[in-house]
Structure formats: C-alpha cells, structure tokens
Amino acid sequence: MEIYFDNSATTRALDEVKDLVVKLMTEDYANPSSRHRKGMEAEQYVKEAAMRIAKTLKVKGKEIIFTSGGTESNNMALIGAALAGQRAGKHIISTRIEHASVYQPLAFLETLGFEVTYLHTDRQGHISLEELEQSIRPDTILVSVMYVNNEMGAIEPVEEIASLVHQKGKNIIFHVDAIQAYGKMEIRPKKQGIDLLSVSGHKIHGPKGVGFLYIDEKVRIKPLLYGGGQQRDLRSGTENVPGIAGLGLAAEEMYRDHKGKVARITELKDYFIDRVQELEGVTVNSLKKSAGAPQIASVSFKGVRSEVLLHALEDKGIYVSSGSACSSNHPAISGTLRAIGVEKDLLDSTLRFSFGLFNTKEEVDICISALEELLPVLRKYYRT
C-alpha cells in the first residue's frame, strides 16, 4: 500500500482532468493560432479554461494569463512589474519565508539596481504589519507576499496587507504567490486588493507544466517572452492547450463543494497533528483548523535527521517531504525554518506532511504506527 502525503509538492490528477488532457493530445490537438476550424476549436478550449478560472476568483477572463507553472508566474509578476514601474522607483518589499521562485527573481532584480527589503516573521510565520508600514517608502513600487507558506502552512493576512499597501501608495503593485492557497482558500482578488496572483496547476489535482497569472486589468507589466504575440502580447508562445484545459477543469472541480473539500482536508490535517503529538520528541510547527493552511503539517522530530526519516518512511511506502520539493535536489537547511525561529537542533529534523483529496484517516493511522516503530531505532543508530 502506497501512502502519499506530499501533496504540496504535487497532486495526483483527477480522472476527469486526465481524460480531458488525453483527448486534447490525441483528438482536438490543433494549434489555437491556426485559422482553420480545428484551430478555432482549440482556441475555444483556452478561452473556456480562462472563464472557468475567472469564475472561481470573480474576475474577468481576460485577466488570466496562462504560463508554464508557478515559477514562471512568479517571475513574470515580479520582473514584469518591476521593469514596468522602475521609473517611479526601484524599491521592493517581500518576506524572509518566500519560495525560491520569488526570492531568486528578486535577487536577479537586485543585480539590475533594485533594492529589496525582506520582512521578518514571528514563530507562526506571520509578518508584522507595523514593520511593513515602516518599510514602505516613496520609491516603493512592488510588494510581494505569499498567501500560504509552502513549508509550514502559515496564512498571511493578505487583505490587511493589501489595504495597508494601497493606503500608503496608490500606485504600489501588490503581488501574491497563491500557489499553495488556490484551491484551498476562497480568493477574491478584487475584494482583497490583490493586483497580481500566481497559481500552479499541479497543486490542485491538475496537470504539471501549466499555471496562470492573474493580472488586474489596471496593472501594466513588461512581458518576459517575445514572439508570436499570443495572450495579448503578454506571454508569447503556442499555448499548452491540453494543460490549460486540464487546469481550467481542475480549478472548477476544486471549487465545486469547496467548503466541503476544505473541511475534509483540514479534519485530516488536524487528526494527523493530534496523533503525531502523542509521540515522544515531536514539535509541530503548523497551526490547526483555519489558523493554518488546510493541507500542511510541518513536524520536527528531535534526534533524527529529516533525510534519514524520510527514506525510512519511503521504505514502508509512505511518501513525505523534507522541505520545498522544488529545491529538494539541492538539500540545505530551510530558510523558512530559520526565519520562524525553529530550534537549532530541529532545523535538520523537520518533515512536511501535506494532504489532498485522496488521503484517508486510515493512512494517517498507518503513518503514525510506522513513526512509532521507526523513531526509537533511528534515534539510537542515526542520531543528528
């Protein structure tokens, strides 16, 4: 029996999404830029996906730009907005717990002369609104804050941040990395004051290699890709129609009976946290119920290295993560865990358990039993 508790890295595609993707790769496979009937049919799939997604956010279809995934969406938002607004200033604000697809583009922008202020967080991973207010300057053009932290599930007060940012500077662009939030939270960019919003398809039981960037119609950004002028000249390149259609369907399905889906995942996360806290030497870094993300539980296991425990669980058919999967090929101590003040001896002893639509309480019980068996042995022979 395989138990997959790594849904924040990627999710199993829904069957209906798989079927639609296969259909568009084998039957309705035309290029959406072609002017014949089959091309127009392919183009219609792209438009329909945009409308499906727009409906979940209560925005306009034309405000959805499809990308190759979350990394491109974040790069497009940050670099595009910075380059478009640099005449007004070169100061950007972000946080110390961002994903690499945010802090690496910011590091690139620093090489171009931009200045970035990185906000601190508390033990729960929340920024200080007071520090944010003090950091905003006349030359601030962009603020980027992730909605849900990908490692420990902290939820930032996005609406309060947006209100403060726009109050201090009406032309400041507010970008939100919602890659771990979309599908799990009810998001209303217009109401919440979000100008740019990044999303990835494979985090919501959709295909890999596709995502989108919501761009408020009043916001102007510079494109990163030039060529055929697709997607209103903002993102040139032949559209990935199977991926886009699959993403649109996955988005629609995630927001069908949304409250029920979120309640089930949250209940599973809370059940896991309650069970794992029964074990000796365990520290949970995530919050229960709606105080934290529905799907993420970060747990530190005193006296055993995370990589050792990860592979010991893998040998029992249980799959988890030792951090952000996007960086897992380059193991290092998590900057997020450092930023939230995790004890030094626990920094390399932390695993992320993340849950999705296909997980069950029975799987949690099996995982806890495996941990009960493994931890004493690993602490004895593989101490940190």
pLDDT digits (tens, 9 = 90+) for 186-219: 999 999 999 999 999 999 999 999 999 999 999 9
Output the DSSP codes for 305-319.
-HHHHHHHHHHTTEE
As a whole number of angstroms, the distance between CA 101 and CA 272 comes to 29
The pLDDT, as a whole number, for residue 48 is 98
The pLDDT, as a whole number, for residue 153 is 94
The pLDDT, as a whole number, for residue 312 is 97
Q: Taking Cα atoms as reference points, which of 41, 113, 28, 108 lies closest to residue 76?
A: 108
Q: Give the Cβ contact number of residue 31 at 10 Å.
A: 14
Active site residues: 326
User: What's the N-to-C CA distance of the chain in angstroms?
Assistant: 30
Residue-level pLDDT, tens digit, the chain, 384 residues: 899 999 999 999 999 999 999 999 999 999 999 999 999 999 999 999 999 999 999 999 999 999 999 999 999 999 999 999 999 999 999 999 999 999 999 999 999 999 999 999 998 889 999 999 999 999 999 999 999 999 999 999 999 999 999 999 989 999 999 999 999 999 999 999 999 999 999 999 999 999 999 999 999 999 999 999 999 999 999 999 999 999 999 999 999 999 999 999 999 999 999 999 999 999 999 999 999 999 999 999 999 999 999 999 999 999 999 864 444 444 454 566 666 666 666 677 899 999 999 999 999 999 999 999 999 999 888 654
The pLDDT, as a whole number, for residue 345 is 61
Chain segment 271-296, per-residue pLDDT in tens = 999 999 999 999 999 999 999 999 99
The pLDDT, as a whole number, for residue 327 is 47
The H or E element spanning position 173 is strand 173-177
As a whole number of angstroms, the distance between CA 10 and CA 25 comes to 22
The pLDDT, as a whole number, for residue 80 is 98
The pLDDT, as a whole number, for residue 322 is 86
Q: What is the pTM of this model?
A: 0.94
Do the Cβ atoms of 216 and 162 come closer than 8 Å?
Answer: no
The pLDDT, as a whole number, for residue 323 is 62
Q: Taking Cα atoms as reference points, which of 189, 213, 192, 190 lies closest to residue 201?
A: 213
Query: Measured between alpha carbons, how far is residue 25 from residues 137, 200, 215 in Å?
Result: 50, 20, 28
Do the Cβ atoms of 56 and 255 come closer than 8 Å?
Answer: yes
Dihedral angle sign, alpha carbons of residues 321, 322, 326, 328: negative
